[in-house]
Structure 1
Amino acid sequence: MMGESVITKIEVQKNNKHRYNIYVDEAYAFSVHEDIMIKHRLQKGKPISADERRGVLSDEERNDAYLKAVRFLGTRPRTNKEVRQKLHAAGYEEAVIDETVRRLETERYVDDRDFAKQWVEQRLRSQHKGKAYLRQELLHKGVGREHVQEALQGIDWEDEVSSAFEIGAKKWRQTSGEPFEKKRKTAAFLLRRGFSNDVVQQVLHKINDINN
């Protein structure tokens, strides 16, 4: 068992002003984020035992996982599952991942319920995806079925028809052939986009009114 040693030097890292190199007994020992240094009151001349060092490194790993997750979330919202996959790929242990995700959920950085609602609104509007397609996307991302169902129920019927009509009318214009053939191809296209048969029939009815 390593006995008690003394911190003999602390220096800020050249490429990251928020991280510090810690020297123990004149030799480099480890590096920590400034938050961990402050938490453990690491300073030159302070004795540090083997147990204390393990505690510091344990907190450092958890803090590092948290910061990595926050950076990952900085580009766009992510689901619980996506954050877990990212941290797992980075090599963190399950206990650290569990703790990190719980903290992120408490701080509302990760919220699958809110994610599902935002995803549905954005994809319906900009990607013109129907409920069936959106359901599969959210389930694939690990969102719970109850959150998926709630988000899909929040879709306004008129908004869904409008989204389907926008791409359905475009598909109709781009399709050659007799009206019945254009109708068949447009319907198949919309169904593949995840729109229900009721929505598709409503869109075809509107297209028919415009073209007659």
Structure 2
Amino acid sequence: MLLYVVPTPIGNLEDFTFRSLRILNEVDLILTENYKISRKLLDFYKIKTCIKPYHIHNEYYVVHSIINKLKIGSKIALISSAGTPGISDPGYLLIKHCINESIPVECLPGATALIPALVSSGLSINEFTFIGFLPKKKRKKKLKILSKENRTIVLYESPHRLLKTLNDLELFFGFERNIAVCKEISKIFQKIIRGKIKEIILLYQKKKEKIIGEYTIIIDKK
């Protein structure tokens, strides 16, 4: 009876620990956010363990059956499409239920876009605030609160909202604030752009930089 929370590579498939590989081979079941993406990873490492879907669209329907499997002694691994489950990915609900039911939960260390982006940004990282994705509702209210934050701020953003978010940052943080925009961490087209908000907005507006892939934005402290 044990739930393993196993981080998976966010880009390069070699960014995987030996322990994670062993666990995924030994457990009775792997819960995955995206079957197709996880199948590619598991096939790459020749992992034959049975996999079943666990994502934001079904988690409330399947969580109790998963808990029942764990209670009868199963060992289950939870993985997301990429990175660490629970960090802007499904996972919290199952982990919380396990804790409430006194089922052991063990989270393995591993891949996440957060730390590589922070370290590579060149900005102050002694203290930072991680937001994940900005809320769709009350977005401006959230940004107004964040603009008063004295620590470095980390955001995740999708490509179709990147420019909107940068413009919102300029509005609330000022065009002179330094930021780093990290694209596709650990992937082939990984790139980090550093500079003032206004300078980076111009790069994208003039199409000198293509907007593609997933982004991590680091906002310098005041």
Please give the range of the TM-score, normalised by the shorter of the 2 chains.
under 0.3
Q: TM-score, normalised by structure 2?
A: 0.24
Q: Per residue, is there more helix in 1 or in 2?
A: 1
Q: Which protein has the larger Cα radius of gyration, Structure 1 or Structure 2?
A: 1
Give the alignment's TM-score, normalised by structure 1: 0.25
Which structure features the higher share of strand residues? 2
